[in-house]
A = this chain, B = another copy of it.
C-alpha cells in the first residue's frame, strides 16, 4: 500500500514537513532507523540516492518497525539532482567545516527557517551523506546552506539515525507549542493569603503555648523565618490541610508526660 504525501500528512496529523534525502547510504538497517526517527517528529518524505544495498531491503523493513508508512512512500533515485528537483530550500548536513564558501547553520536555525519556508508554501529538504564519509564537496556545493549539529568536540560520533533524529526534533520544536512547564490542572490550587495566615496564626499560637520562642527577640526573628519559608514554598490547599493534620496530631498526640502545657485537657 502506497500512501500519498497528503494521506501520510493526514496520518501524522501534521502539516507539510521537510524531505529527508539519504545520499549513497551504506546499511539497510540505518534506513529503517531513519524512518522511525523521522516519524517521531512527523516527517514522512524519505528519498534515497543510489543506496549501496538492494531495495526493497529486509533489514530496513525490520528496523523500521512501526514506521512502515515512511518506507512505503519512499522513492529511490539514481541522481541527487532528481531527488532534490522539487525542493526550494536544501540543507546539506556535515560533521566538519569543509572550507566551503557557504553559510553554516545549526540544526535549530535550519528548523526555524524550514518552518518559515513551509509557511510560504515552499518545500524543504535535508541531505545526509554516506555513513562513513558524509557528503562530498560537489554535493555540498549545491545546497543552500550547510547544517552542523553542535556536539562535544571531544566525542562527536553521531550515527545516521541520530543525526536525522536531532534535525527532525529541531524542525518539530520550531513549530511546537508545548509550554516549557505545565502544572497539573484542576485538582488542587495554591492556598490564598488568608488560608496561609490562618495556618500561621494557629501555628504561632501553638508554638507560644509550648514555649518554643523562649524570648521576645528570638520570637521576632523566628516568626520572620517561618513566614518567609511559608511564602517561598506557597503550599497548595491540600498541602496546607496535610500540614495542619500533621502538626495538630503532633501537638495532641505526644507521649503523656506531665506539664506539656496542653490547654483544655
Contact = CB atoms under 8 A, between A and B. Distances in A.
Interface string A167-184: 001001100101111111
A107 to B, nearest CB: 9
A75 to B, nearest CB: 20
B103 A180 contact: no
Given A157-B36, A166-B165, A152 B42 contact: yes
A241 to B, nearest CB: 14
A13 B152 CA distance: 8
Given A108-B173, A165-B165, A40 B184 contact: no
Contacts of A198: none
A246 interface: no
A256 interface: no
A210 interface: no
Given A41-B151, A152-B172, A188 B101 contact: yes
A55 interface: no
Contacts of A187: 101
Chain A interface main SS type? loop
B181 A104 contact: yes
Contacts of A145: 181
B11 A154 contact: yes
Interface residues of A, number: 48
Contacts of A182: 103-105
A23 to B, nearest CB: 22
A188 B101 CA distance: 8
Nearest to A145: B181
Contacts of A109: 180-181
A61 interface: no
A150 B165 contact: no
A36 B154 CA distance: 12
7 nearest CB pairs, A to B: A109-B180, A42-B152, A39-B155, A150-B178, A104-B182, A150-B176, A105-B181
